[in-house]
Amino acid sequence: MKPRPPVTELSEEEQIFRDSVREFAEEVVRPRVAEMEADRKQPADLLAKLFEMGLMGIEIPEAYGGAGASFFMSILAIEELSRVDPALAIPVDVQNTLVINQFLKYGSEDQKQRYLPRIARDTVSSYALSEAGSGSDAFALACAAVPDGDDYRLSGRKLWISNAAEAGIFIVFANADPAAGYRGITAFIVERDMPGFQVGRKEDKLGVRASSTCELILEDVRVPRANVLGAVGQGYKIAIQTLNEGRIGIGAQMLGLARGALEGALAYSKERKAFGQPIGEFQAVQHLLAECATDIETVRLHVYNAARLRELGRSCLREGAMAKLVASRVAESVASRALDVYGGLGVTSECPAEKYLRDAKVAQIYEGTTFMQLNTIAKSLQKDGL
């Protein structure tokens, strides 16, 4: 029997793809990170570059204008971009692991023909589930969808929606039958220019500041029945499955962030001198860096394993939750320890570790909090054992 290759082993095609994204991140993105952080937005020309490179439609089949590549390549792209700037990785993550994922699994042929070419070519997309009273309790939705002839009329508000400022296409979850509870939740394809749809204020966040996070306001937005994604009442199933896989993308974000933080601290430890020698020659600093490197490799195994399982069409519910749980904790821990290596410089805005630490915190919240991941893992253990 042929032995299984290591989970972290990449094919030649995957290596070439990863290296091209890494080169882009280093040469094009890194010089502009400070600018994006200060301006709290992503420049249109950089987003256009993401489309030109095919990074906004990685898994979209070539027949619809996409790259026709794999989910695992999406994970590699998110990791490499996050190593330089996690904020710029967010549109790539949301587009590939949430929106495109939903279209490929649940979209009709008509919907794929109408929307996937736009998403692959030049249109940012967004995933709108959360509301003021509906975060971890994702199905306590107040946003309503009222049938009206060949349309539905959507009314309500969404909060904390990533990519909202730039997006032209939104997957909006609303309840088409409140009496049925979560069984009435339905996913709708909403376009930015539909009358009654409005992107509200942009949040001023702790981290990933260049990534837009906004409120959505829907006031009697008429959405054709042809824009129901999947079946009416199937929205809860779509949301659960999509988020299960999307969490692998968050794991990749935090894997890249942790790598970036450690690489910076390692380089600094060779430059900064104290007591007549580089601080990297002190055993205490060496041990700190070694622990960070070991933790990062643990995250890599979790994230890549979950992504490979998804590629094989196997369940990755538990593995995706574990990947997000471990990655979000390690990212914060590594960024904090990296900041320690910089000493006093670490708490200033000119130090990259300071930004990595702020950027890391959100991963313990969005696409399912740490506590929700623990719940998912615990339920899986109760049902299936180890």
Total residues found in the chain within this entry: 386
What is the pLDDT at residue 213? Answer: 98
What is the pLDDT at residue 113? Answer: 98
What is the pLDDT at residue 138? Answer: 74
Please list the alpha-helical segments (H only) found in 107-178. Answer: 109-121
What is the pLDDT at residue 4? Answer: 67
Per-10-residue mean pLDDT, the chain, length 386: 77 98 98 97 97 98 98 98 98 98 97 98 97 85 96 98 98 96 96 98 97 98 98 94 94 98 98 97 98 98 98 95 98 98 95 97 96 97 95
List 37, 80, 166, 367, catalytic entry:
367
Q: Sketch out the chain's domains with CATH numbers.
A: 12-123 (1.10.540.10), 126-233 (2.40.110.10), 236-384 (1.20.140.10)
Structure tokens at 227: 């824009």
What is the pLDDT at residue 137? Answer: 85
DSSP string of 308-344, one letter each residue: HHHHTT---HHHHHHHHHHHHHHHHHHHHHHHHHHGG
What is the pLDDT at residue 318? Answer: 97
CB atoms within 10 A of CB 293: 15
What is the pLDDT at residue 2? Answer: 61
Output the average pLDDT for the chain. 96
Give the Cα separation of 267 and 132 in Å (integer).
43
87 Cβ contact partners less than 8 Å away, ≥ 6 residues apart: 36, 37, 42, 208, 209, 210, 211, 359
Give the Cα separation of 91 and 1 in Å (integer).
41
Q: Which residues pair with 148 in a beta bridge?
A: 151
What is the pLDDT at residue 139? Answer: 72
Give the Cα separation of 147 and 140 in Å (integer).
20
Phi and psi at 157, nearest 5°, equal -135, 145
Between strands 185-191 and 228-229, the pairing is antiparallel
Q: What is the pLDDT of residues 276-323, one digit of tens each?
A: 999 999 999 999 999 999 999 999 999 999 999 999 999 999 999 999
Clarify whether 263 is annotated catalytic: no
What is the pLDDT at residue 1? Answer: 54
